[in-house]
Amino acid sequence: MATCRLVVSMALRKLGRLGAGREPRTADQADVLAALQGLYRFWIDTGTFGRLADVIPLADITAGENQRIIRDETVITVTLPEYVPAFCDPLPYGALWPAQVSSNRDYANRPPHDGSVVQIKDTVAGNVESWIYDGTRREWVNIDALQLDEEAPRSGDYHGLAACLAAEIADEFGAELGVATQGQAARFVTTLTHHLSTPRRAVAGVFF
């Protein structure tokens, strides 16, 4: 895992705008950190982490994975899930439903999938909070409150994340992406969209 500060600095180095061992200017750090937050929001909005289901709660609620909670009343409390019922997940290989699964407490609940998203839209205050579950840290990260010295979500491959960030800010800094950086960015996005580090997710079929 890498801090946002490291990802920001690496992105600028990949663009040739920061020498080895040097720190970016404070203004540049702030601008590039904002671009990193915008990149996470773009991935959420375009379904890179998976589609979001809209939920309008009528009372306090514990959100599920990949849900957009639309809160019409600020008195409603939204809790982020620490564990998720696993009964909708694909069965373990060779398991017979329900005998071999229902008696297995380890399979009854699991942590949220790495890269799961919860978005909370407060229509009264006009605020939107976007949270990403980082499976390595096993905690939810508020994208809108990221600080430079916090660990960046999904930064296990921080070179890939920095390459995506470099592509995002290249025009702003008047730089061009190198071939290697383009390849790193493409590889990183592939890992996000294919979810190969998590078990397959059961989805509802659509028939015509």
The DSSP string of 127-141 is EEEEEEEETTTTEEE
Give the mean pLDDT of the chain: 85
State pLDDT tens for residues 18-33. 988 788 999 999 999 9
Q: Tokens 């383009």 — which residue? A: 182
Do the beta carbons of residue 85 and residue 108 sit within 8 Å?
yes
Q: How far apart are CA 128 and CA 119, in angstroms?
A: 7
- Residue 99: per-residue pLDDT: 46
Q: How far apart are CA 193 and CA 69, in angstroms?
A: 23
State pLDDT tens for residues 33-43. 999 999 999 99
Q: Which of 112, 156, 142, 123 is nearest to 44 (CA)?
A: 142
Taking the model in full, what pTM does it have?
Answer: 0.82
- Residue 125: per-residue pLDDT: 81
- Residue 46: per-residue pLDDT: 92
Q: How far apart are the first and last CA of the chain?
A: 44
Residue 158 has pLDDT above 60, yes or no: yes
Task: Collect all residues with Cβ–Cβ distance below 8 Å to 136 and sequence separation of at least 6.
Answer: 1, 114, 156
